[in-house]
Amino acid sequence: MKLKIKELVALLAFVTFATSCDDGNIHDVLHLDINEGYAIRLKGNIKNMSQWESGKYQIAVAAFAVQDSYPLLAKSLPQTEGEIDFRFEGINPDCETIELCVLNRINKKVASLATLFNRGEDGNRAIEDTIYYNAGELDAGMYATIQASIFNKRCAFCHGMGETPAAGLYLTDGNSFESLVNVPSKKVDSLMRVEPNHAERSTLYKVLTEYNEYSAWHYDHTKFFYGNSMSNLVKEWISQGAIK
């Protein structure tokens, strides 16, 4: 029985993914050399990649199907500071998006740093064309990723967009770090909002993962964050020293 190229790609991707999960290592994820698909040329000055612990995370260019957190195909960037000139060819032409993102050890997307291609916006692009993306000056550090992926998208509306932010906490861009790290909590007297190296003693992490009728905070944040990659990312950032 002959397999079509797309069926073969899917089969090989599954085998590669299963192998990487079994041995617990992150490889050059699901990178298959095929003769069709998109090509990406990524340039820019990407800094603070070293904040992501090797073996737990990688920064990669990855192609995703619709609303999927696991890539169809991905290739990791070299962890070097400064200017990069990165090329990735043979990207699955059936993908919905191609993103510069952070993947964890099981190749699940933790956060998106930039969208390089979106079928809804670039659907007429020929697959023979190279997609060029200039990342400019991009901070790929953990705190910058939390700010862009969590605070800006989910928290800033209540914490800083108005004249009186909830709990007096500003989580807007440019204000969150100084409002969080080593700042006493207004809700729990014995805790800091963020105590570096101690997520379990930080109000920020508790708010995202704990809630009951006796909680000092009145809004249940856990329905958006508990047990997902976002709360785990906040925990990891605090546990590694809450570096800016």
pTM: 0.78
Q: What is the pLDDT along the chain (244 residues), one digit of tens a residue?
A: 444 444 444 444 444 444 444 444 444 444 444 457 899 999 999 999 999 988 899 999 999 999 899 999 999 998 877 789 999 999 988 899 999 999 999 999 999 999 999 998 887 787 778 999 999 999 999 999 999 989 998 888 889 877 788 888 999 999 999 999 999 998 898 999 999 999 999 999 999 998 887 788 888 888 777 567 788 899 999 999 999 9
Backbone angles phi, psi at 15, to 5 degrees: -65, -45
Q: Which two tokens stand for residue 179?
A: 């409002």
How far from each other are the two terminal CA atoms of the chain, in whole angstroms?
Answer: 55
Count, residues in the chain? 244
Distance CA 224, CA 25 (A): 29
Sign of CA dihedral 21, 27, 32, 37: positive
